[in-house]
Amino acid sequence: MPVTAAAKSRPAADRRVPHLLAELRALGSERDRAGMARYGINVEHAFGVSIYELRKVAKRLGTDHGLALALWATGVHEARLLACFVDDPSKVTPRQMDAWAGDFDSWDICDQACTSLFDQTQHAWSKAPEWAKHDDEWVKRGGFALMAGLAWHDKVSADPPFGKFLKLIERAAFDHRNFVKKAVNWALRNIGKRNRALNRAALACAKKILAAANRRAGGERGGDAGPRAARWIATDAIRELGSAKVRARLK
């Protein structure tokens, strides 16, 4: 059987991984690892390397899909972040996206995968709504992180697809899980900062969420975890999207 180009390149990528792991370990520190933990990052398999240092390593390595897959397979926190920075979006498949999403165990891994890699793939627009309906906390966060990334990085898409995202945001606003509600809020704010029309649509969505939360809670305060989460998502978005700073930028 002939040896393919992909098969030839795989051992080389794999041979680099131990050396890269040793480099990452040397770049890490217990102080930075403790700092990551204070920000809610899962450091069980982390060395304590800053994103700034990882970006420098990624720039040196360049784009390498095979290496990205090998780095992700290590399970090391910083190696997975590095994988997000060196992977080739054009070679990422839906299967890879689902597999990596199933491995998400920390908000920074989730967010970097979705906004540094997955939002640049041709599958982002289908995976965002699919994941947004998922039961798993991290996969669901990934869906809304993808929406946030698309709203910020996609410079060519028209408004209607983002309008569809707003309906999913409205639906998910009562999910009180911390990492979900923050991503829902993030997606809402990024869509609302895209242009004037979407700013109006996002503000209307936020006000609709707020009214629904108050109805469910029986007032403007209190209620169970769902209305409180929805109220926070809405009020925070209204505050930013209605601010003079955002309005001036959109003009």
User: Do both 121 and 57 map to the same domain?
Assistant: no
Whether residue 96 is contained in a domain is answered as no
Q: What is the rounded distance in angstroms from the CA atom of residue 151 to the CA atom of residue 134?
A: 21
Q: At what angle do helices 196-217 and 225-241 cross, to 10 degrees?
A: 150
- What is the domain count for the chain? 2
Q: At what angle do helices 160-172 and 137-153 cross, to 10 degrees?
A: 150
- Over residues 43-83, the pLDDT tens digits come to 999 999 999 999 999 999 999 999 999 999 999 999 999 99
Q: What is the rounded distance in angstroms from the CA atom of residue 228 to the CA atom of residue 214?
A: 9
Final residue before a domain boundary, out of 87, 121, 151: 87
Cβ neighbours for 164, distance < 8 A, ≥ 6 positions apart: 129
Domain that holds residue 61: 1-87
- Over residues 86-145, the pLDDT tens digits come to 999 999 999 999 999 999 999 999 999 999 999 999 999 999 999 999 999 999 999 999
User: Do both 130 and 197 map to the same domain?
Assistant: yes
Number of Cβ within 10 Å of residue 212's Cβ equals: 18
User: Do both 149 and 119 map to the same domain?
Assistant: yes
Looking up tokens 């920075």 gives 85
